[in-house]
């Protein structure tokens, strides 16, 4: 089948994005499309597949679905949501919307550019939950807040957050990528402690700002993860490191976003939604393979604006 897509990124988290409002494919086929298009060794590459889906009578202007590179479907993707929101705004001619996610809803709106030429979207999601059941942790404790998790092969103190996708967040003095990768790999095996797996983040507190490095469920180490940044912002408030209500810069390997949260668990993230190119591609969902894409237009001005705003 031939699919049109936009290659986009939110804070360096990159995705093929498909307007799927009129496409009716079984979930297994979307999983195959994700595995074909978000394969780093394949013709497109990305940290997952984003779908813009139709609105509904429950007050959602449109919806978002997100499939990880391994074909698993996530509850949310907050870097991806900004890109989906931008496409929804452009297609519907609106500047704000309520969006249906897999198991929750989010509010999105156009915002003042973070830097000249950088399309910027504000998103509010939540409430974040620290209930271990919501995070998928099979332990007796009701919550894990800045505490070791029995059975996890790490002695670090974690805060477990459902955004609503599962996150384990540890504040560290300095991010050790090898340690993060080893722990992420352990979670990827779906151990009895956390069978649905988890996104794992190490976070450096830099004054009242954060630097977040994340091993994403279903993907691996990524340049940034929006729901991980949201979880880290909330965890910073919940653990008393940064007062709720503080707007902080959240740095990551792919750039930065602005974030804040409140005691009720609502998290607001402001960040880019950059479109890189428009293309179409022949995909075989059953085999999870794709031909090289036909690129129709490159949005070089947007890529340049982001590069100028976030020097390497
Ligand atoms: N990159 C995303 C999160 C994508 C889903 C995640 N890997 C999961 O399986 O929960 C983001 O920006 O939030």
Residue 310 has pLDDT above 90, yes or no: no
| pLDDT score at 192 | 98
Q: Ligand 1 pocket test: pick from 70, 76, 162 the residue with the most ligand atoms within 8 Å of its Cβ.
A: 76
Q: How confident is the model at residue 70 (pLDDT cuts 50, 70, 90)?
A: very high
What's the average model confidence in pLDDT over 241-268?
97
Cα of 151 from ligand 1 centre, angstroms? 24
SS3 129: strand
CATH architecture, domain 132-271 = Roll (3.10)
According to CATH, the superfamily of the domain at 2-121+273-309 is Diaminopimelate Epimerase; Chain A, domain 1 (3.10.310.10)
Q: Does residue 77 have an active-site annotation?
A: yes
What's the average model confidence in pLDDT over 146-153?
97
Residue 271 has pLDDT above 90, yes or no: yes
**Mean pLDDT over all residues of the chain?**
97
What's the average model confidence in pLDDT over 216-223?
97
* Strand boundaries in 152-287, DSSP class E: 159-162, 166-171, 199-206, 209-216, 220-222, 248-252, 255-261, 267-272, 274-284
What's the average model confidence in pLDDT over 56-69?
98
Q: Ligand 1 pocket test: pick from 77, 125, 231, 254 the residue with the most ligand atoms within 8 Å of its Cβ.
A: 77
Give the ipTM. 0.97
| pLDDT score at 185 | 98
Cα of 291 from ligand 1 centre, angstroms? 26
| pLDDT score at 93 | 98
What is the C-alpha R_g of the chain? 18
Q: For 286, which DSSP code?
A: T
| pLDDT score at 268 | 98
pLDDT per position as a tens digit, 90-128: 999 999 999 999 999 999 999 999 999 999 999 999 999
The residue from 77, 83, 122, 187 that is catalytic is 77
Distance CA 95, CA 85 (A): 9
The ranges assigned to domains in the chain are 2-121+273-309, 132-271
Question: Does residue 120 contact residue 134 with C-beta atoms inside 8 Å?
Answer: no
Question: Does residue 293 contact residue 306 with C-beta atoms inside 8 Å?
Answer: no
Q: Does residue 8 have an active-site annotation?
A: no
SS3 305: helix
Atom of ligand 1 nearest to the CA of 167: 10
Atom of ligand 1 nearest to the CA of 79: 12
Residue 83 has pLDDT above 90, yes or no: yes
| pLDDT score at 278 | 98
Q: Are 2-121+273-309 and 132-271 the same fold in CATH?
A: yes
Question: Residue 179: enclosing H or E segment and its boundaries?
Answer: helix 177-188
What's the average model confidence in pLDDT over 30-55?
98
Query: Which residues participate in the annotated binding site for substrate?
Result: 13, 68, 165, 199, 216-217, 226-227
Distance CA 31, CA 302 (A): 29
Cα of 227 from ligand 1 centre, angstroms? 6
Residue 312 has pLDDT above 90, yes or no: no
Q: How confident is the model at residue 301 (pLDDT cuts 50, 70, 90)?
A: very high
């Amino acid at each position: 089948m031939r699919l049109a897509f936009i290659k986009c990124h939110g804070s360096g988290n990159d995705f093929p994005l498909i307007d799927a409002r009129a496409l009716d494919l079984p979930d297994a086929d979307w999983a195959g499309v994700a595995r074909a298009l978000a394969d780093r060794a394949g013709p497109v590459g990305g940290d997952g597949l984003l779908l813009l889906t139709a609105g509904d009578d429950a007050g959602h202007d449109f919806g978002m679905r997100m499939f990880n590179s391994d074909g698993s479907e996530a509850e949310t993707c907050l870097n991806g949501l900004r890109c989906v929101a931008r496409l929804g705004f452009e297609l519907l001619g609106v500047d704000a919307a309520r969006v249906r996610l897999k198991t929750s809803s989010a509010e999105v709106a156009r915002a003042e550019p973070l830097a000249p030429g950088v399309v910027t979207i504000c998103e509010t999601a939540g409430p974040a939950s620290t209930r271990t059941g919501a995070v998928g942790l099979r332990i007796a404790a009701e919550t894990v807040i800045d505490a070791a998790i029995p059975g996890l092969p790490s002695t670090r103190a974690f805060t477990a957050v459902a955004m609503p996708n599962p996150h384990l967040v540890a504040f560290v003095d300095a991010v050790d990528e090898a340690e993060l990768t080893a722990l992420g790999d352990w979670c990827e095996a779906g151990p009895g402690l956390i069978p649905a797996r988890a996104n794992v983040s190490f976070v450096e507190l830099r004054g009242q700002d954060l630097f977040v490095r994340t091993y994403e469920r279903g993907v691996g180490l990524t340049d940034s993860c929006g729901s991980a940044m949201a979880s880290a912002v909330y965890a910073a408030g919940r653990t008393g490191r940064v007062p709720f209500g503080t707007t902080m810069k959240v740095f990551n390997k792919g750039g930065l976003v602005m974030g804040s949260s409140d005691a009720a668990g609502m998290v607001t993230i402001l960040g880019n939604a950059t479109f890189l190119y428009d293309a179409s591609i022949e995909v075989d969902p059953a085999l999870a393979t794709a031909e090289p894409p036909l690129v129709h237009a490159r949005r070089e001005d947007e890529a340049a604006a982001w590069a100028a705003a976030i020097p390497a």
